Amino acid sequence: MTNKKIQEIIENILGFLSLTDDQIKINFTDEDQIQVNISLPEDITGIFIGRGGENINALRLILSLIISQRTNTWPKLRLNVNDYQEKREEYLTDLAKDAVEKAQELQREIILPNLSSYERRIVHLHVESLGTVTTESRGQEPRRQLVVIPKTK
């Protein structure tokens, strides 16, 4: 299926949510990733993002499922509303830095609860790049937690 057809699918679905073409920007990267950016007035941004990003994640899943059904391949879809993803990633890296410092200072495990699998992955990768502590995920969804573990001296 062509990028043009995938773009039409995305625009049609988002049109059902009363979004206009000027609010939607779709880019296709060289790595076969689909980047969908939605620009909204601030007063309705929260409706699309939801608490903890629940709505934006659900919308991304719905878009992915529909594209997958039509193309027989799972798309690498990144959905962003008013730069929420960048702001969230910045928050998560700050959270990771704080947890790393606390784990090293106190020499004990620090638990970061209530993160989605995507968010845990961001923290895992950031902490891994520091190399001073390790991380692991424990428990079962929806109570899965990320644990920052100090390396023993």
Which of the listed residues 82, 103, 118 is the one where a domain comes to its end?
A: 82
Give the C-alpha separation, 104 to 133, whole Å: 8
DSSP helix/strand/coil, 91: helix
CB 71 within 8 A of CB 1: yes
Sign of the dihedral through C-alpha 62, 65, 71, 77: positive
Which of the listed residues 35, 66, 82 is the one where a domain comes to its end?
A: 82
**Which residue range forms the structural domain that includes residue 99?**
87-150
Regarding whether 76 and 13 lie in a shared domain, the answer is yes
The number of domains in the chain is 2
Instruction: Express each pLDDT in 98-113 by its tens digit.
Output: 999 999 999 999 999 8
Q: In this predicted structure, what is the pLDDT of residue 55?
A: 93
CB 71 within 8 A of CB 28: no
> Which tokens in the block code for residue 24?
């939607």
Instruction: Express each pLDDT in 13-60 by its tens digit.
Output: 999 999 999 999 999 988 789 999 999 999 999 999 998 788 998 999
Regarding whether 91 and 45 lie in a shared domain, the answer is no
Regarding whether 110 and 76 lie in a shared domain, the answer is no
Regarding whether 76 and 9 lie in a shared domain, the answer is yes
Q: In this predicted structure, what is the pLDDT of residue 1?
A: 63
CATH of residue 64's domain is 3.30.300.20
Beta strand 110-112 pairing with 145-150 = antiparallel
